[in-house]
């Protein structure tokens, strides 16, 4: 990952890389690549409007069909040209950022729609202020935090992370936020705390997808406490130098880059430290397909498709998936001695 840490309580906007700078850098890279004769990147395939669990399954089946086709023909090698590295434009592996338009326009957020390309439109007008997050459970200093208080209290950092969806696609995103550990340290976990439970806002009037009877709302996710305290685990309040948009989980969301994307819960209103493993929405909705850990692992397939490769949004072909999404050096020790196939 690329981490640009900040110091100080309040971060002037001039110190955060603005979206215009990101985009101008991308334009420079695109022009340079064109001179070099680079091929145009493939666009995302259009999706039809979908609703309900059955439709979600059909969408996942589409992704799975692409995986199966790649497995039959062999994973398409990615271009081997040396990447043009401009500060803030690639991750630590040299992967370029996913286009801003794709990051804000291709989203899994079932609270609004099961159609990735419909989420942004249906989330338009969603008001993420005022907003409060209650942090409690097994802690010594529980508290309720206003979003503006969180932004002022915790130094902002820019982090470029890879995001790998369980459906077999991925992005590279420049996030803004702060380590979850900073917030947890402030509330002081009690001795009995073993896990962290997160909960999304439940408001079917503002989030119409929550009217679907196919899912056990509200959206709930969880981490082991040591996972939550890992320095990579981020509470994100922005991306591409700006505050989060509703379709990306405004005003704050979790980002856990070594796990599949559904673990990175959005629009959080409640964080509780607990002594038992939380039951997540997907564990309850499809326990034979989704487990608690959800670590990215090319050797452990989804029951309906392979996880050996992924489609990077904006690229042609497929690329091999990395164990822990390439963050093994930072997180593999968390799972020493654990059967990763059994604890999926």
Burial (CB count <10 Å: 0-12, 13-18, 19+), residue 10: exposed
Say what the pLDDT of residue 76 is. 39
**Strand-strand pairing, 242-243 and 268-274:** unpaired
Cα 333 versus chain centre, distance = 22
Q: Across residues 21-40, what is the average pLDDT?
A: 49
This prediction has a pTM of 0.82
Q: How far is CA 83 from CA 96, 99, 164, 315, 343, in A?
A: 8, 16, 21, 14, 36
Say what the pLDDT of residue 45 is. 33
Contacts of 223 (CB under 8 A, 6+ apart): 195, 196, 198, 233, 256, 263
Say what the pLDDT of residue 239 is. 97
Q: Is 303:291 a contact under the CB 8 Å cutoff?
A: no
Say what the pLDDT of residue 41 is. 30
Q: Across residues 285-307, what is the average pLDDT?
A: 97
d(CA 336, CA 315): 34
Q: Does the pLDDT at position 174 exceed 60?
A: yes
- CATH code: domain 2-335 is 3.90.420.10
Could you tell me the pLDDT band of residue 26, with boundaries at 50, 70 and 90? low
Q: How many CB atoms lie within 10 A of CB 94?
A: 11
Say what the pLDDT of residue 3 is. 59
């Amino acid at each position: 990952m690329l981490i640009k840490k900040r110091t100080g309580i309040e971060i002037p906007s001039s110190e955060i890389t603005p979206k215009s700078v990101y985009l101008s850098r991308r334009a420079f890279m695109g022009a340079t690549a064109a001179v070099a004769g680079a091929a145009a990147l493939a666009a995302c395939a259009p999706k039809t409007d979908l609703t309900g669990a059955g439709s979600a399954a059909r969408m996942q089946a589409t992704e799975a069909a692409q995986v199966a086709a790649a497995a039959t023909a062999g994973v398409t090698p990615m271009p081997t040209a040396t990447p043009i590295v401009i500060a803030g434009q690639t991750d630590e592996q040299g992967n370029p950022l996913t286009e801003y338009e794709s990051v804000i326009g291709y989203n899994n957020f079932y609270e609004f729609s099961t159609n990735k390309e419909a989420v942004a439109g249906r989330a338009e007008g969603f008001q993420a202020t005022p907003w409060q997050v209650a942090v409690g459970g097994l802690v010594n200093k529980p508290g309720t935090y206003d979003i503006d208080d969180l932004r002022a209290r915790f130094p902002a950092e820019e982090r470029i992370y890879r995001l790998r969806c369980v459906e077999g696609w991925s992005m590279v995103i420049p996030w803004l936020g702060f380590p979850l550990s900073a917030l947890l340290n402030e509330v002081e976990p009690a001795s009995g705390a073993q896990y962290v439970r997160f909960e999304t806002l439940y408001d079917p009037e503002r989030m119409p997808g929550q009217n679907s009877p196919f899912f056990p709302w509200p959206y709930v996710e969880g981490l082991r406490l040591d996972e939550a305290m890992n320095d990579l685990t981020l509470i994100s309040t922005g991306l591409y130098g700006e505050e989060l948009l509703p379709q990306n989980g405004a005003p704050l969301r979790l980002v856990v880059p070594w796990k599949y994307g559904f673990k990175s819960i959005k629009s959080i209103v409640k964080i509780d430290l607990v002594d038992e493993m939380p039951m997540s929405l997907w564990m309850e909705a499809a326990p034979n397909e989704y487990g608690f850990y959800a670590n990215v692992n090319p050797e452990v397939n989804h029951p309906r498709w392979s996880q050996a490769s992924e489609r990077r949004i904006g690229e042609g072909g497929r690329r091999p998936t990395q164990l822990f999404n390439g963050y093994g050096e930072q997180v593999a020790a968390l799972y020493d001695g654990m059967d990763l196939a059994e604890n999926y």
